[in-house]
Structure 1
Amino acid sequence: MASQVETTVRSPEAYSLAHRVVDAMQEAAVWPTPLNFELWLHYLSAPDSPLSQEMARLLASGAPFTESTAEMLAAEFLPRSRLSEEIRDAGAVLNRELAAVASAIDKARESQANYGDTLAEAADRMAAAPDSASLGVIVSSLSDATRRIRRHTSALERRLESSNREVVKLRDHLEQVRRDAMTDALTNLANRKAFDEQLLRMCDQAETEGSPIGLALIDIDHFKRFNDTWGHQTGDQVLRYVASVLARIARTPRVAARYGGEEFAVIFPGETSGAVEAALNAIREEIGSRALRRRSTNDDLGAVTISVGFAQRRPGETAIQVLERADEALYASKRGGRNQVTNADTAAPAAA
């Protein structure tokens, strides 16, 4: 998506695209902030991208496109560009460290070569003038050369120690950047990119090992009502609450993720259908057991309920096929009155 956008903004149609972006934001009553402009630039220039599809869904729902919405979209769909910048910066530091080490090694190599020359010269002089006075001069020369090579060797050791510390710091930094790029900023759960990668990997592993794996899609019931009644800050509070329950119950090796908007997903590797259904009902009951209060005013928000659909992977089934069946089960839960868990293998398929 990023490369497609970058190509477009460097092409002759860049100015017309910029006008279209501004016109589209004005039509949707969206302020032309730098972040909104970047999001809408991606939305119009890469219409088939996950970001564009999510924006189309949000706009079709009629929900206002707020700063909170923009930040959520950027955190979920735009971290890769920031990740690339972080990696480039780390690469520049690493290149400087490697250049410094290479320079120190060259100096040590030159010092060793000179030391070898000094030894060869001393041997020749000892053979040509073996008197005690000459030997004293030769020994003094060898002593000086030995001290020089020790200094260069010590300098190289210090340089290598320093570089090793810097490389460890860079490794830790890049690992943190990688984690940030795979984490939803609002809920601290895995984001959609991390979820997609984990699901593919776990489905491949399940196929190889013949082990079970379950997938659940979870949707907050009537979430739009929270946003419309109390505002998006309260909506964010509800999202974080649901995420906190998921994070506590869906611990490793389970994987809980924010799938998009008010929808979440959980992967259950190595668990039977009965165990998955029991865990999902535990999540549903805990979420619905607590009456939330609005932080800013202490107003009673009432209980939050969720609709859940899950599917147990069948042999030979792809990750996309499992997702589609779980999604059908989710819509069966919604049509059935919400606040329930539906098993894709026992429910009738959802109507299109």
Structure 2
Amino acid sequence: MSTQVQTTLRSPEAFALARRAVDEMERAGVWPTPLNFELWIHWLGDPDGALGQEMTRLLGDGTAFTDGTAEMLAAEYLPRGRLSEEIRDAGAVLNRELSTVSEAIAKAQKSQAAYGQTLAGASAHLESSAEPSALLGVVSTLSRATTQVQAENATLEKRLETSTKEVARLREHLEQVRRDAMTDALTNLANRKAFDEELLRACDEAEKKRQPMSLAVLDIDHFKRFNDTWGHQTGDQVLRYVASVIGRISKAPRVAARYGGEEFAIIFPSESAALVEAALNQIREEIGSRALRRRSTNDELGAVTISGGLAQRRPGETGSSLLDRADEALYASKRAGRNKITNGERLEEAA
């Protein structure tokens, strides 16, 4: 989802956009299925984006907007659609490999059974006859059967070796798909889904080990006004810059995420609120110290500032409660004039 659409959906304009999407679908004679609704929201919210341009072209050409068309667009332009497509492709390849291996194993088992029957027949023949010519025939039969079994085993080993390499490649590919699904495409930080999972895990670990853990929420000041003035492409440039500073200072075991729009969140496992506050002020000061320029025109954009709030987890506290308290501290920073970090612990002591 583009930054422009994300920003719109987190503002009062979201309701107007949703109503317009339904009206446009009705006008085009398209059923308002969840997938179609998502596509129309992207199109109307960001008509100049890749998906928006393709939908404008299709609808302008009078192309029938079928379920197949919607699925094609989702697979090409929506992150979840691309993810599902890649998983389906990997699954199909894996199924083919498993089928091929199963066939090779079945063939080898059949060959082994036939070899066993040959051995049994040879044993019976030897017991009933001691003639040299009979012995020669038995040896010849065993030699042919052994050669055939060895060839089947060699084929099976080669097939297994090839399949092992292919499965390893698929495993690596699926791991990359998993990482992509947990990463925000614009900033390369963790996305909301990854953050929610990591917050749950970090709270559980802090509870079990009885260790401190803090959470911070950061927000770019006046970002909507900045977008309206300079455009969304320049807004994306600012988001990437802010994210690069946050990511560099929030190395593992810290976890930095783009929580949505212009909002970021950082998990600080095993760190007290005082240490976290120092790190957040380092981020805030570095971001605000640089005068940005617009890449396309080299126009001066001025400095960007951020506001933030942090909260230290209490024994037994859930991630949702911790996030709410960090948000309250963030809003306190906004009310205090922005470009400020508020320690929620001190905020509550003063209340």
Q: TM-score, normalised by structure 2?
A: 0.80
Deviation at 1:129, TM superposition (A): 2.0
For residue 183 of structure 1, report the CA deviation from its aligned partner. Answer: 0.6
CA-CA distance at 1:131 after TM superposition: 1.7
Deviations 1:153-205 (A, max 9, x none): 00110111111111111101110111111110110100001001100110111
* Gap change, CA 1:305 and 1:137, over 3 Å in 2: same
**Equivalent position amino acid for 1:281 in 2:** N
Match of 2:334, SS state, is: helix
How far, CA to CA, are the matches of 1:311 and 1:332 in structure 2?
A: 12
Deviations 1:46-72 (A, max 9, x none): xxxxxx9xx9xxx9xxxx74545989x
Structure 1 residue aligned with 2:271: 271
User: Would you say the 8 A contact 2:192–2:259 is kept in 1?
Assistant: yes
Q: Which residue does 2:245 correspond to in 1?
A: 245
- Contact (CA 8 Å) 1:215, 1:267: kept in 2 or not? yes
Q: What is the deviation of 1:228?
A: 1.2
Structure 1, unaligned stretches of length 5 or more? 1-17, 45-51
Give the distance between the partners of 2:143 and 2:247, measured in 1 at CA.
Answer: 67
Q: Name 2:312's counterpart in structure 1.
A: 312
> Is 1:41 matched up with 2:37?
yes
2:67 aligned partner: none
Q: How far 1:130 moved relative to its partner?
A: 1.0
Q: In 2, Cα distance between the equivalents of 1:153 and 1:227?
A: 66
Secondary structure, in 3 states, of the residue corresponding to 2:264?
strand
Q: What does the per-residue CA deviation read over 1:19-39, in whole Å, with 9 as the maximum and x for residues that have no partner?
A: 973416899xxxx9x9xx977
- 1:109 corresponds to: 109
Paired residue for 1:48?
none
Paired letter, 1:343: N
Distance 1:327 1:257, change over 3 A: same
User: What is the one-letter code of the residue matched to 1:164?
Assistant: T
Amino acid at match of 1:311: A
Structure 2, gaps ≥5 residues long: 1-17, 53-73
Q: 1:8 maps to which residue?
A: none
1:323–1:23 Cα change, 3 Å? same
Distance of 1:317 and 1:137 partners within structure 2? 82
Shift of 1:343: 0.8
Tell me the SS of whatever aligns to 1:346.
helix
Query: Counterparts of 1:165-184 in structure 2 under 5 Å?
Result: 165-184=165-184
Deviation (angstroms), 1:42: 4.2
Code of the aligned partner of 1:299: D
Query: Would you say the 8 A contact 2:309–2:341 is kept in 1?
Result: yes
After superposition, residues 252-267 of structure 1 pair within 5 angstroms as 252-267=252-267
Identity %: 64
CA contact (8 A) 2:22 2:37 kept: no
Give the alignment of 1:1-352 within 5 angstroms.
21-23=21-23, 41-42=37-38, 65=46, 67=48, 79-347=79-347
Which whole-Å deviations, capped at 9, do the CAs of 1:308-327 have from their partners, x for residues lacking one?
01101111111010000000
The DSSP-based 3-state class of the residue aligned with 2:342 is strand
Work out the CA distance in 1 between the residues paired with 2:79 and 2:181.
5
AA aligned to 1:171 is R
- Give the drift of 1:40: 6.9
Return the letter of the residue paired with 2:192.
R
Contact 1:311–1:322 (Cα < 8 Å) also in 2: yes
Residues of 1 paired with 2:263 and 2:293: CA distance? 21
Please say which of residues 83-92 and 237-246 is displaced more in the overlay. 83-92
CA deviation vs aligned residue, 1:233-282 (integer Å, no higher than 9, x gap)? 10000000000001100011100000100110010000011110010000
Matched to 1:196, the amino acid is D
